[in-house]
Amino acid sequence: MEMKRVMLTSGAEATIELRDGIILKSRAPKRYRLKEIDERLRRERTKIEAKLIAEARKSGVPTPIIYDVMNCEIQMEYIDGVQLKHVLDANLSERIGELVGLLHTAGIIHGDLTTSNMILAGERIYLIDFGLAYFDQSTEARGVDVHVLFQTFESTHGGHETLIKAFTRGYRKTFKDADDVLQRVKEIESRGRYRTERL
């Protein structure tokens, strides 16, 4: 039987391949960096990613189902939908806020919350690419997580203030420490070099 193989994306982190309806995410070696650094990062990130995808799902955040993990490759469910960066609006941003709130309640930091890493499939928003995710319950880690998303809103989407406001609404709904984190986000923003609006 002939296998159907399609290369979906070659992202910065990994290559995503669709093989017989299953997603294969593999972290190919990066030639630009030293082998020692490369192997350390790829191995650690693959193992942690698989674990976190499963944990996030348990906490109520739609993520792909994991089928298998080996070396630097994860086999998981294929989510057929559209990246949020192409369809983002305030309503969706509020729902992102709810999901990130659930994630943070479960003690999970995504680590790369961009609108490229969210897929709208039917009625559900799936979070994908947990390649930089980790467990952490600190306000700081949660703040950086949200800060990254706000940076994406600002750098890639128009009307980012509305999107941020909508996100905040959703985030507060599902996460009791939301206000502490949002306060920290402001402080983190002021840390980048030369920010004029200091707290």
Partner 1 sequence: MRRKSKCVLGIEGTAWNLSAAIVDQSRVIASAESSYHPVEGGLHPRAAAQHHATHMEQVIHDVLAKGKKNNAKISAVAFSIGPGFGPCLRTVATAARALSLSMNVPLIGVNHCIAHIEIGRWLCNVADPVILYVSGANSQVLSYRNGKYRIFGETLDIGIGNALDKFGRYAGLQHPGGPKIEEIARKAKCYMPLPYVVKGMDFSFSGLTTAAKDALAHAPLEDVCHSFQETAFAMLVEVTERALAHTGKKDILLAGGVGANSRLMEMLNTMCQDRSAKFFAPDKAYMKDNGAMIAYTGLLMLESGAVLSVEDSAVRPNYRPDEVEVTWR
Q: Are strands 134-135 and 124-127 parallel, antiparallel or unpaired?
A: unpaired
> What residue ranges bind partner 1 (CB under 8 A)?
10-13, 30-34, 36-37, 40-41, 111-114, 116, 132, 144-145, 147-148, 151-152, 154-156, 158, 191-196
Q: From the candidates 20, 80, 112, 180, which is the catalytic residue?
A: 112
Q: Smallest distance from the beta carbon of 69 to partner 1, in angstroms?
A: 22
Whichever of 3 and 12 has its CB closer to partner 1, that residue is 12
Instruction: Say which residues have a Cβ less than 8 Å from residue 22's Cβ, sequence separation at least 6.
Output: 67, 75, 76, 77, 78
Instruction: Say which residues have a Cβ less than 8 Å from residue 90's Cβ, sequence separation at least 6.
Output: 162, 163, 165, 166
Q: Return d(Cα 102, Cα 61) in angstroms, integer.
A: 7
Q: What phi, psi does 41 have (nearest 5°)?
A: -65, -45
Could you tell me which residues are beta bridge partners of residue 187?
A: none
Asked about 112 being catalytic, the answer comes back as yes
Q: Smallest distance from the beta carbon of 20 to partner 1, in angstroms?
A: 26
Q: Smallest distance from the beta carbon of 37 to partner 1, in angstroms?
A: 5
Whichever of 33 and 43 has its CB closer to partner 1, that residue is 33
Q: Are strands 22-26 and 15-19 parallel, antiparallel or unpaired?
A: antiparallel
Q: Smallest distance from the beta carbon of 58 to partner 1, in angstroms?
A: 24
Distance of CA 161 to the CA centre of its chain: 21
Q: Which residues are catalytic?
A: 112
